[in-house]
Amino acid sequence: MADLAIAEIGRAALSYAARGWSVIPAEPRGKRPIVAWQDFQQRIATGEEIAAWFRRWPRANVAIVTGAVSRLVVLDIDPRHDGSASLEDLAHAQEPLLRTLEALTGGGGRHLYFTHPGGVVRNRVGLAPGIDLRGDGGCVVAPPSVHPSGRRYAWVEGRGPDDALPAPMPRWLDERVRADARHPGHPAAHWRELARRGVRQGERNAAIASFAGHLLWRGVDPDVVRELLLAWNRSRCDPPLSDGEVTQAVKSIVRRHERDEGVSCESGGAADGGWQTGKVAT
């Protein structure tokens, strides 16, 4: 029975890719990707690549990369943190949710799949109490993967990909996404000036945290971010912080970035403070 379940996950990965969804393998009974997956935020893996992954890691889970590449965004509802109540309140105050693809997680949560509206949809942790958004650069573990609890992810009856299509995003969510897009952060000139000028005492920690977040958002490897900011601190901060302070500040931003950007494919799976980001070279 276990072997059949393992084979079923690989077959599901192939079927999702055939639907135009980008898939990656995640750790067995876990949520962290086990391949370097930035490339698959831009393209869909071939059948040969997917088959090779599941031959190499036959017990791997399957995750769907959200965002424009799969034309999907996903609301991650955690009832343990009032996610169901938050969603009910939003639907009551704004508009009822349309019938859409829906999966149950092995941990008692729900994943609601909607069509990507175009443009950039940022990942959001804490969109509302117990509700996270997975968009561009995010991912979600998908059925029939095995949750750390040992229970399987499963499509809600009548709401799986064989029975339904993802609905358009609710209007309130679309408005939130568009508001985020209108406030993308500092312009490039700000970061160029910061890199050249540096900062003085009283500004150093905030500048390092902001700089680290900027670099991580643009896909720079966390180890590279640390080394760059160690060098920048020594040459541009007046006076420099200790290497240990810089390292600790960057670690904190890496943890937050991984939580916000879906490195673990679901909430609650941020890194443990080390420099691994759940990516293992293919």
Asked whether 255 and 209 are in contact (CB, 8 A), the reply is no
Q: Which pLDDT tens digit goes with each residue over 143-159?
A: 999 999 999 999 999 99
CA atoms of 249 and 251, how far apart (whole Å): 5
Domain ranges of the chain: 2-180, 188-261
Q: Which pLDDT tens digit goes with each residue over 221-264?
A: 889 999 999 999 999 999 999 999 999 989 888 877 766 554 57
Q: Identify residue 116 by its one-letter amino acid code.
A: H
Q: Which pLDDT tens digit goes with each residue over 6-63?
A: 589 999 999 999 999 999 999 999 999 999 998 999 999 999 999 999 999 999 999 9
pLDDT value, residue 122 = 86
CATH class of the domain at 2-180: alpha beta
Q: How confident is the model at residue 277 (pLDDT cuts 50, 70, 90)?
A: very low
CA atoms of 213 and 277, how far apart (whole Å): 15
> Quick check: 93 pLDDT over 70?
no
